Amino acid sequence: MKPKITKLETFQEMELKDKLASSFLAFENQIDIDSYVHDIRSEAFKTFEDKGFPSKKEEAWKYTSLNSILKEDYSVFPKQENALTYPDVKKYFIHEIDSYKIVFIDGKYSSHLSQTTHEGIDVCLMSSALNKPKYRLIIENYFNKAATNDSLPSLNTAFSNEGAYIHIPKNKLVEKPIQIIHFSTGSEAAQLLQPRNLIVVDENSHVQIIERHQSLTDNPVLTNSVTEIFGRKRAIVDYYKIQNDNLNASLIDNTFIDQKQNSHISVHTFSFGGKLTRNNLNFYQNGERIDSTLKGITIIGDKQHVDHSTLVHHIEPNCESHQDYKGIFGDKATGVFNGKVVVEKEAQRTNAFQANNNILLNDKATINTKPQLEIFADDVKCSHGCTIGQLDESAMFYLRSRGIPEKEAKALLMYAFANNVLESVKIPEIKQRINKIIANKLGVNIGFDL
């Protein structure tokens, strides 16, 4: 038996844990205890209580401390319902395209801002999927089947009740992208949100999803989100995470992707905002000839922190994975890239690529980048490379000598450094939006479009 690890918790952590425990009791009292997920939730809460919040002592959290965000006195459930009008929040949508929308305000579904469907596909709510008998089979087959029992996913599972539920039956090409947006209005002094998304894409189907979390005030928000994505044979899923939240909002994103043979799933993560962002992105390849793509652009400054912790688990032969993360860190920003690739013994002829390139704009910004390769098969092609550099001075002089001012020249070079990540973005309006966010972020008014 392993000795139980006792760990030191801060006073604030203990307080928050107590609060979560009493909230969990209250939550359980309100919901149907005969529900299939009831036991899963109870089990998950126990797991969370045992494990507690992750600490820097754990290898996976060595460079990301939650101390500064766990000290807030978060409300677990919002006390009132809040409304927003579309014009107020239109700018947070990719509004140039026709799309399905699943929108939440302070964790509660907003039918007013949403556009869901049951015509041929299900684009709707987790709360109804958990409660209505017709979804029971999918829930039993998929809910919590990909998520790990690490402490934060467990905490989310314990409180799982609301989020997006997307089921695309086989042979459907979903023309309209689906936007999942979570707003927080700041009606609570500090708010904890735990959205839970389930996305099941059956054989030969194709769907595109855009996810965003947006706080509308300076009140602290902590989002601990879990998304499970299942791609069946030949499914194609393109997922875009646009992270440009304000500086008091933190996000722990736990995404688990289970792929079957010949499926292609890509996740692009654009991280520009937020106080602390941790992206736990996990791919499990349960079939042959699978393609997994993980790409990201991170541009942060101030005291922002963005941590990309990726896992690609190559389990079967003839699969590929492509990782390409670009990071630019200014001011006192800190970044982490922890990319783990596991190639099992059976997973012969795996091609696994990983690149993480970073620019530090000054000597106060830091990046910790660490590839972790665990390769048990012998016939594999794996490459990984990480670089940390500065902006090229001779390129700066070249641009400036043509009349491009320092700030704009820097912005052009940063954009040029990062933009190949955008090449695989299939929705032009997303590219344009990212370009615009980058221009805003860098304080310039130049068109980056080539």
Partner 1 sequence: MLKIDNLHASVEDKAILRGINLEVKAGEVHAIMGPNGSGKSTLASVIAGKEEYEVQDGEIILEGENIDELAAEERAHKGIFLSFQYPVEIPGVSVTNFMKTAINETRKARGLEDMPAKDMLKMIREKSELLEIDRKFLSRSLNEGFSGGEKKRNEIFQMAMLEPKLAILDETDSGLDIDALRIVANGVNKLKSKDNAVVVITHYQRLLDYIVPDYVHVLYNGRIVKSGTKELAKELEEKGYDWIKEEVNA
Which residues lie near partner 1 (CB under 8 A)? Answer: 392-395, 397-406, 408-409, 412-413, 415-417, 419-420, 446-450
Q: Which is nearer to partner 1, 119 or 449 (CB)?
A: 449
In this complex, which beta carbon is closest to partner 1, that of residue 342 or of residue 404? 404
Q: Which is nearer to partner 1, 376 or 398 (CB)?
A: 398
Identity of the residue, 59 or 449, whose beta carbon is nearer to partner 1 in the bound complex: 449
- In the complex, minimum distance from the CB of residue 328 to partner 1, in angstroms, rounded to a whole number: 13
SS3 of the chain: CCCCCCCCCCHHHHHHHHHHHHHHHHHHHHCCCCCCHHHHHHHHHHHHHHHCCCCCCCHHHCCCCCHHHHCCCCECCCCCCCCCCHHHHHHHCCCCCCCEEEEEECCEECCCCCECECCCCEEEEHHHHHHCHHHHHHHHHHCCCCCCCCHHHHHHHHCCCCCEEEEECCCCECCCCEEEEEEECCCCCCEEECCEEEEEECCCCEEEEEEEEEECCCCCEEEEEEEEEEECCCCEEEEEEEECCCCCEEEEEEEEEEECCCCEEEEEEEECCCCEEEEEEEEEECCCCCEEEEEEEEEECCCCEEEEEEEEEECCCCCEEEEEEEEEECCCCEEEEEEEEEECCCCCCEEEEEEEEEEECCCCCEEEEEEEEEECCCCEEEEEEEEEECCCHHHHHHHHCCCCCHHHHHHHHHHHHHHHHHHHCCCHHHHHHHHHHHHHHCCCCCCCCC
Q: How far is the CB of 190 from partner 1 (least distance, A)?
A: 41
Output 50 or 392, the one with its CB closest to partner 1: 392
Q: How far is the CB of 357 from partner 1 (least distance, A)?
A: 12
Distance in Å, CB of 420 to partner 1, minimum: 7
CB of 447 to partner 1, least distance (A): 7
Residue 343 or 399 having the CB closest to partner 1: 399
Minimum CB separation of residue 446 from partner 1 in Å reads 5
CB of 389 to partner 1, least distance (A): 13
Decide whether 400 or 431 has the Cβ nearer to partner 1: 400
